[in-house]
Amino acid sequence: MPNPLLEQRALAEGKALAPLTDRAVIAIEGNDRHTWLNSILSQELRSLGEGQSAEALQLDPHGHVEFVLHLVEDGERTWAIVESSTKEALLVWLDKMIFRSDVRVTDHPELKVFFGIDTDFGITWVDPWPNVVGGGVRYAQDAPVFNGREHILESAPEIELVPLDAAEALRVAARRPRQANEVDDRTLPHELDWLSTAVHLSKGCYRGQESVAKVHNLGHPPRRLTFLHLDGSNHLLPEEVDVTLDGKVVGRVTSVANHYEMGPIALAVLSRSVPVEATLMVGNVSAAQEVIVPPTAGKAASLPPRSELNQRR
């Protein structure tokens, strides 16, 4: 009988892969692909070289996350790993954005995606999390080492395969956000600490850029991603998604797992106003917070004192 905790350990030690059956692969070809991608996505991609990886977001005009792309360059094309649930809408949007650029976008349903830790198979997307890429900024003070990899392959390699749940447990433990779980129609990149790996704050114009800069420099994201240690005394993971404080709903659980070392854990998106030291409830399960995005995130611009502003008027 399979042991989920041993499967997680094998995956964490690089001795296994997990098929990411809910991911899809598309390819972007053509001489203009890098400048074109750079113009429509949140990351600096003009100099993406062979073998290099990047994470990028497509935002709406208000800076909300619409698509997340894991990009890797092979020298002839740029591959994108995306959520299967978003693939069709993404393909339609990309096709609309080509105009006269020398770009071709193709779906590759014959290709599969596998997750590993520090592994090397086929075309490999190297997850930048939890590092801070050029032009980015991290709100979290501490982030565990992850070394996640996503491999694009035609078939499974000769290595132990473990279920998708094992990969999800390691992702949650790494405090790593994912579109299918943590993103809703109001999500700003700042709320999930995505300015660290998926946004270049000083690159040229792209849709949503003004909102990204405004929240980072002048305001605070209204919600924040947090890591939860769940009370495991009843040996069951909570089925509820609402997070409450003193009986009031203050957020939602977005991902939950029973980790092989840490036990029951979760990611949750909370209102910024929730005190970081508060013990929360998920159904009848108590949850202790470990801060990822602090309530103080944002307001990075150095503004003159209000008295000086008044004198200038």
What are the domain boundaries of the chain?
A: 4-215, 221-291
Average pLDDT over residues 198-219: 94
pLDDT digits (tens, 9 = 90+) for 225-271: 999 999 987 777 887 799 999 999 999 999 999 999 999 999 999 99
Q: What is the pLDDT of residue 140?
A: 93
Interior/surface letters 132-142, b for 16+ CB within 10 angstroms, e for the rest:
bbeebebbbee
Contacts of 202 (CB under 8 A, 6+ apart): 135
Which helix (DSSP H) or strand (DSSP E) does residue 123 occupy? strand 123-126
Distance of CA 171 to the CA centre of its chain: 10
Query: Residue range 96-123: average pLDDT?
Result: 97
Which fold is adopted by the domain 221-291? Elongation Factor Tu (Ef-tu); domain 3 (2.40.30)
The DSSP H or E segment spanning 170 is helix 164-173
CB-based contact 23:84 (threshold 8 Å): yes
Contact call for residues 169 and 260 (beta carbons, < 8 A): yes
pLDDT(283) > 60: yes
In this predicted structure, what is the pLDDT of residue 312?
Answer: 42
Q: Measure Cα distances from 207 to 65, 146, 148, 285 in Å.
A: 11, 30, 29, 41
pTM for this prediction: 0.94
| Nearest partner of 81 among 45, 108, 41, judged by Cα | 108
Report the DSSP beta bridge partners of residue 244.
249, 281
Longest dimension (CA), the chain: 74
Note the pLDDT of residue 106.
98
Q: Report whether pLDDT(197) > 80.
A: yes
pLDDT tens digits for range 138-168? 999 888 999 999 999 999 999 999 999 999 9
Percent of the chain whose predicted confidence (pLDDT) is above 70: 96
Q: How far apart are CA 212 and CA 144, in angstroms?
A: 26
Average of per-residue pLDDT across 266-284: 97
Q: Percent of the chain scored above 90 by pLDDT?
A: 90
- Average pLDDT along the chain: 94
Q: Show the tokens assigned to 66.
A: 């619409």
Q: Of 193, 208, 186, 210, nearest to 267 (Cα)? A: 193
pLDDT above 50: residue 282: yes
In this structure, is the dihedral angle defined by the CA atoms of residues 19, 24, 29 and 35, taken in order, positive or negative?
Answer: negative
Helix, strand and coil percent figures for the chain, each rounded to 5: 20, 30, 50
**pLDDT at 53 (0 to 100):** 99
**Please, are residues 265 and 309 in contact by the beta-carbon 8 Å criterion?**
no
Place 302 in a pLDDT band, splitting at 50, 70 and 90. low
pLDDT of residue 309: 37
pLDDT of residue 236: 76
Q: Which fold has domain 4-215?
A: Gyrase A; domain 2 (3.30.1360)
Q: Which helix (H) or strand (E) holds 306?
A: helix 306-312
